[in-house]
Protein backbone atom coordinates (compact mmCIF):
# COMPACT_ATOMS: atom_id res chain seq x y z
CA UNK A 1 0.00 0.00 0.00
CA UNK A 2 1.25 3.51 -0.72
CA UNK A 3 2.21 6.09 1.94
CA UNK A 4 -0.35 8.21 3.80
CA UNK A 5 -1.51 11.26 1.92
CA UNK A 6 -1.71 14.90 3.02
CA UNK A 7 -4.41 16.80 1.15
CA UNK A 8 -3.63 20.49 0.53
CA UNK A 9 -6.79 22.60 0.69
CA UNK A 10 -10.38 21.92 1.67
CA UNK A 11 -12.46 23.68 -0.98
CA UNK A 12 -14.65 22.15 -3.69
CA UNK A 13 -11.80 20.59 -5.67
CA UNK A 14 -10.33 19.04 -2.51
CA UNK A 15 -13.75 17.62 -1.65
CA UNK A 16 -13.97 15.82 -5.01
CA UNK A 17 -10.44 14.45 -4.60
CA UNK A 18 -11.15 13.29 -1.05
CA UNK A 19 -14.15 11.28 -2.24
CA UNK A 20 -12.04 9.71 -4.98
CA UNK A 21 -9.25 8.83 -2.54
CA UNK A 22 -11.72 7.32 -0.06
CA UNK A 23 -13.23 5.16 -2.82
CA UNK A 24 -9.73 4.03 -3.78
CA UNK A 25 -8.69 3.18 -0.20
CA UNK A 26 -6.00 5.83 0.38
CA UNK A 27 -4.94 6.52 3.97
CA UNK A 28 -5.41 10.25 4.64
CA UNK A 29 -2.90 11.66 7.16
CA UNK A 30 -4.73 14.99 7.27
CA UNK A 31 -5.70 18.12 5.41
CA UNK A 32 -4.11 21.58 5.40
CA UNK A 33 -6.03 24.84 5.19
CA UNK A 34 -4.97 28.05 6.93
CA UNK A 35 -8.65 29.06 7.19
CA UNK A 36 -9.57 26.11 9.42
CA UNK A 37 -8.82 25.49 13.08
CA UNK A 38 -5.83 23.14 13.53
CA UNK A 39 -6.96 19.94 15.23
CA UNK A 40 -10.55 20.29 14.01
CA UNK A 41 -12.21 17.80 11.66
CA UNK A 42 -13.19 18.30 8.04
CA UNK A 43 -15.22 15.50 6.40
CA UNK A 44 -13.65 12.98 8.76
CA UNK A 45 -10.06 14.22 8.18
CA UNK A 46 -7.89 15.93 10.78
CA UNK A 47 -7.04 19.56 9.97
CA UNK A 48 -3.26 19.77 10.42
CA UNK A 49 -2.93 23.55 10.10
CA UNK A 50 -1.82 25.81 7.25
CA UNK A 51 0.28 24.61 4.32
CA UNK A 52 3.46 24.62 6.40
CA UNK A 53 1.98 21.84 8.56
CA UNK A 54 3.13 19.53 5.74
CA UNK A 55 6.68 20.04 7.04
CA UNK A 56 5.97 18.18 10.26
CA UNK A 57 6.34 15.08 8.02
CA UNK A 58 9.62 14.19 6.34
CA UNK A 59 9.33 14.22 2.53
CA UNK A 60 9.68 10.43 2.36
CA UNK A 61 6.97 9.80 4.99
CA UNK A 62 3.96 11.10 3.03
CA UNK A 63 2.64 11.85 -0.43
CA UNK A 64 0.87 15.13 -1.17
CA UNK A 65 -2.34 15.70 -3.09
CA UNK A 66 -2.93 19.19 -4.45
CA UNK A 67 -6.51 20.01 -3.49
CA UNK A 68 -6.27 23.60 -4.64
CA UNK A 69 -8.42 24.12 -7.73
CA UNK A 70 -7.41 26.25 -10.66
CA UNK A 71 -9.34 29.08 -12.31
CA UNK A 72 -8.32 31.79 -14.79
CA UNK A 73 -6.60 34.73 -13.05
CA UNK A 74 -6.65 33.09 -9.62
CA UNK A 75 -3.07 34.02 -8.75
CA UNK A 76 -1.65 30.54 -9.32
CA UNK A 77 -1.79 29.15 -5.76
CA UNK A 78 -2.08 25.59 -7.07
CA UNK A 79 1.07 25.95 -9.14
CA UNK A 80 3.02 27.73 -6.34
CA UNK A 81 2.28 24.99 -3.81
CA UNK A 82 3.26 22.29 -6.29
CA UNK A 83 6.57 23.99 -7.12
CA UNK A 84 7.37 24.88 -3.49
CA UNK A 85 6.82 21.41 -2.05
CA UNK A 86 8.40 19.64 -5.03
CA UNK A 87 11.54 21.78 -4.54
CA UNK A 88 11.52 20.79 -0.84
CA UNK A 89 11.64 17.10 -1.83
CA UNK A 90 7.96 16.14 -1.38
CA UNK A 91 6.20 14.11 -4.03
CA UNK A 92 2.68 14.63 -5.35
CA UNK A 93 0.46 11.59 -5.86
CA UNK A 94 -1.29 11.30 -9.23
CA UNK A 95 -4.97 10.38 -8.96
CA UNK A 96 -7.09 8.57 -11.50
CA UNK A 97 -10.79 8.12 -10.76
CA UNK A 98 -11.83 4.49 -11.38
CA UNK A 99 -14.71 5.85 -13.49
CA UNK A 100 -12.32 7.56 -15.94
CA UNK A 101 -11.05 5.83 -19.10
CA UNK A 102 -7.35 5.97 -19.89
CA UNK A 103 -6.13 4.19 -23.05
CA UNK A 104 -2.75 2.58 -23.70
CA UNK A 105 0.44 4.57 -24.23
CA UNK A 106 -0.77 7.45 -22.11
CA UNK A 107 1.75 9.14 -19.80
CA UNK A 108 0.45 10.99 -16.75
CA UNK A 109 3.18 12.88 -14.88
CA UNK A 110 3.46 13.48 -11.15
CA UNK A 111 0.45 15.08 -9.53
CA UNK A 112 -1.93 14.76 -12.49
CA UNK A 113 -5.59 14.39 -11.43
CA UNK A 114 -8.13 12.71 -13.70
CA UNK A 115 -11.73 12.99 -12.54
CA UNK A 116 -14.77 10.75 -13.06
CA UNK A 117 -16.03 10.40 -16.60
CA UNK A 118 -12.89 11.77 -18.25
CA UNK A 119 -11.65 9.99 -21.38
CA UNK A 120 -7.96 10.07 -22.31
CA UNK A 121 -7.16 8.36 -25.58
CA UNK A 122 -4.07 6.60 -26.92
CA UNK A 123 -0.70 8.34 -27.00
CA UNK A 124 -1.61 11.35 -24.84
CA UNK A 125 1.11 12.97 -22.69
CA UNK A 126 0.05 15.05 -19.69
CA UNK A 127 2.70 16.94 -17.71
CA UNK A 128 2.90 17.68 -13.97
CA UNK A 129 0.09 19.05 -11.81
CA UNK A 130 -2.63 19.09 -14.51
CA UNK A 131 -6.33 18.56 -13.87
CA UNK A 132 -8.45 16.65 -16.39
CA UNK A 133 -11.81 17.42 -14.83
CA UNK A 134 -15.11 15.53 -14.81
CA UNK A 135 -16.23 14.32 -18.23
CA UNK A 136 -13.45 16.02 -20.20
CA UNK A 137 -12.18 14.32 -23.37
CA UNK A 138 -8.50 14.40 -24.37
CA UNK A 139 -8.30 12.57 -27.66
CA UNK A 140 -5.41 10.73 -29.30
CA UNK A 141 -1.87 12.11 -29.15
CA UNK A 142 -2.65 15.38 -27.41
CA UNK A 143 0.31 16.98 -25.58
CA UNK A 144 -0.60 18.85 -22.41
CA UNK A 145 1.93 21.08 -20.61
CA UNK A 146 2.40 21.58 -16.86
CA UNK A 147 -0.29 23.07 -14.57
CA UNK A 148 -3.01 22.96 -17.24
CA UNK A 149 -6.67 22.70 -16.20
CA UNK A 150 -9.02 21.03 -18.67
CA UNK A 151 -12.33 21.93 -17.05
CA UNK A 152 -15.46 19.74 -16.89
CA UNK A 153 -16.81 18.57 -20.24
CA UNK A 154 -14.14 20.25 -22.39
CA UNK A 155 -13.21 18.33 -25.54
CA UNK A 156 -9.73 18.30 -27.08
CA UNK A 157 -9.76 16.58 -30.47
CA UNK A 158 -6.76 14.58 -31.68
CA UNK A 159 -3.24 16.01 -31.70
CA UNK A 160 -3.98 19.22 -29.77
CA UNK A 161 -1.01 20.82 -27.98
CA UNK A 162 -1.49 22.96 -24.89
CA UNK A 163 1.24 25.08 -23.28
CA UNK A 164 2.02 25.31 -19.57
CA UNK A 165 -0.53 26.93 -17.30
CA UNK A 166 -3.34 27.25 -19.86
CA UNK A 167 -6.99 26.96 -18.83
CA UNK A 168 -9.49 25.20 -21.10
CA UNK A 169 -12.91 26.27 -19.81
CA UNK A 170 -15.94 24.14 -19.08
CA UNK A 171 -17.50 22.68 -22.22
CA UNK A 172 -14.99 24.25 -24.62
CA UNK A 173 -14.34 22.40 -27.87
CA UNK A 174 -10.94 22.42 -29.59
CA UNK A 175 -10.68 20.92 -33.07
CA UNK A 176 -7.85 18.61 -34.10
CA UNK A 177 -4.25 19.71 -34.38
CA UNK A 178 -4.66 23.12 -32.67
CA UNK A 179 -1.84 24.68 -30.59
CA UNK A 180 -2.79 26.73 -27.53
CA UNK A 181 0.02 28.82 -26.04
CA UNK A 182 1.23 28.95 -22.45
CA UNK A 183 -0.90 30.83 -19.95
CA UNK A 184 -3.82 31.27 -22.34
CA UNK A 185 -7.47 31.06 -21.33
CA UNK A 186 -10.18 29.40 -23.39
CA UNK A 187 -13.52 30.64 -22.03
CA UNK A 188 -16.22 28.16 -21.13
CA UNK A 189 -18.19 27.06 -24.20
CA UNK A 190 -15.70 28.36 -26.79
CA UNK A 191 -15.18 26.56 -30.08
CA UNK A 192 -11.50 26.87 -31.03
CA UNK A 193 -10.66 26.38 -34.71
CA UNK A 194 -7.45 28.45 -34.94
CA UNK A 195 -4.14 28.36 -33.08
CA UNK A 196 -3.90 30.60 -30.01
CA UNK A 197 -0.65 32.26 -28.92
CA UNK A 198 0.78 32.58 -25.43
CA UNK A 199 -1.25 34.63 -22.92
CA UNK A 200 -4.30 35.15 -25.10
CA UNK A 201 -7.97 34.75 -24.13
CA UNK A 202 -10.79 33.26 -26.18
CA UNK A 203 -14.35 34.44 -25.49
CA UNK A 204 -17.27 32.43 -26.85
CA UNK A 205 -20.48 33.92 -28.22
CA UNK A 206 -22.56 35.33 -25.36
CA UNK A 207 -26.13 34.42 -24.47
CA UNK A 208 -28.61 37.22 -25.21
CA UNK A 209 -31.02 37.76 -22.33
CA UNK A 210 -34.16 39.79 -23.16
CA UNK A 211 -37.62 40.31 -21.69
CA UNK A 212 -40.31 38.23 -23.40
Ligand X SMILES: CC(=O)SCCNC(=O)CCNC(=O)[C@H](O)C(C)(C)COP(=O)(O)OP(=O)(O)OC[C@H]1O[C@@H](n2cnc3c(N)ncnc32)[C@H](O)[C@@H]1OP(=O)(O)O
Q: Which residues are catalytic?
A: 140
Contacting residue, 160, 185, 192, 196, with ligand X by CB under 6 A: 185
**Is residue 56 classed as helix, strand or coil in its secondary structure?**
helix
Site for ligand X in 45-74 (CB under 6 A): 71-72
* Beta pairing, strands 179-180 & 131-132: unpaired
List residues bridging with 138 in a β-sheet.
Answer: 120, 156
Residues in the chain: 212
* Residues 99-128 close enough to bind ligand X by CB under 6 A: none
Residues between 73 and 102 that touch ligand X (CB under 6 A): none
Nearer to ligand X, 59 or 152 (CB): 152
Tell the burial category of 76 from Cβ atoms under 10 Å away from its Cβ (0-12, 13-18, 19+). middle
Stretch that binds ligand X, among 46-54, 85-93, 135-143, 184-192 (CB under 6 A): 184-192
4 binding ligand X? (CB under 6 A): no
What's the rounded Cα separation, in Å, for the pair 29 and 57?
10
Residues that bind ligand X in the complex, under the rule CB under 6 A: 71-72, 133, 151-152, 169-170, 185, 187-189, 203-204, 206
Amino acid sequence: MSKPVVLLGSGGHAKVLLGMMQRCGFEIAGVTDPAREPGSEWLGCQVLGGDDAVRRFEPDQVLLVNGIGSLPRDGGTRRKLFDEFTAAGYRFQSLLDPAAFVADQVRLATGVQVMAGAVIQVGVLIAENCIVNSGAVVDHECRIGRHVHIAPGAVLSGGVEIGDGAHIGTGAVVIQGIHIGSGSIVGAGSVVTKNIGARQIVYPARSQIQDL
